[in-house]
Amino acid sequence: MKKRIAKHIKNQDFVKVYITNTDDYEIDHFNGIIYEQNDKFILMCDTFDFNFDGFIVLRKSDISEIKCTENEKIFKQIIDNERITNSITKKRLAINVTLSAFKEMFIQLMYLKLPIIIECKYGKDDRFQIGPICEVDEKKVKLKHFNASGEFDLKPTTARYKEITFFRIDSPYANIFYKYAKEIE
């Protein structure tokens, strides 16, 4: 898989990446360009309806399939012609996060003070956590989570690394919502 991903990175191919749970059941998929890989993770942009939807960090061990069919090639032509690829590449350069272990990536993101989205989709506990990082240690990350009403929780929300399915950086949804989130009075 490493060589195949390297080829997609080199060619800046538009791909569809599927992730599955331990029962081989598809739990999500992402459409975009893979920008980086290491032994454990990939970092890719995600798009929705030709619009940038943030950068995703996924465990390689969770990836069940990477598609680059004629459909993806047409999508690539469209985002290139619309100059969306150039815009995403500029965003990638501005978000200077290097793939490493969870702890190191979250420390980098904590200093950027960006809100992130963490999704935990394994097992029974399907969680969506959003907010800026406030603490990082060896086994978990804590977010200053804000709820669907745009109010920050009184206590930080914890996500253990082993429970994280993926996390999203520079999401328009998170960035805009974060601007309007407020402390609970």
CATH number of the domain encompassing residue 48? 2.30.30.100
Tell me the CA end-to-end span of the chain in Å, nearest whole number: 50
Confidence of residue 125 (pLDDT cuts 50, 70, 90): confident
Same domain as 136, residue 72: no
Element (DSSP H or E) covering residue 119: strand 115-120
Four-point Cα dihedral 67, 42, 32, 16, nearest 10 = 20
Distance CA 96, CA 109 (A): 9
What mean pLDDT do residues 119-129 have?
A: 82
Q: Is the pLDDT confidence value at 185 over 60? A: no
Chosen domain end from 41, 65, 97: 97
DSSP helix/strand/coil, 114? coil
- Joined together, the tokens standing for residue 143 give 């977010």
Chosen domain end from 97, 131, 158: 97
pLDDT higher for 106 or 147? Answer: 106
Q: Is the pLDDT confidence value at 40 over 60? A: yes
Confidence of residue 184 (pLDDT cuts 50, 70, 90): low
DSSP helix/strand/coil, 151? strand
Same domain as 66, residue 140: no
Same domain as 159, residue 113: yes
What mean pLDDT do residues 74-80 have?
A: 94
Phi and psi at 56, nearest 5°, equal -115, 135
What mean pLDDT do residues 94-118 have?
A: 92
Residue 107 has a CB neighbour count (10 Å cut-off) of 14
Same domain as 105, residue 131: yes
In total, how many domains does the chain have? 2
Domain boundaries, position 148: 100-185
Chosen domain end from 97, 119, 143: 97
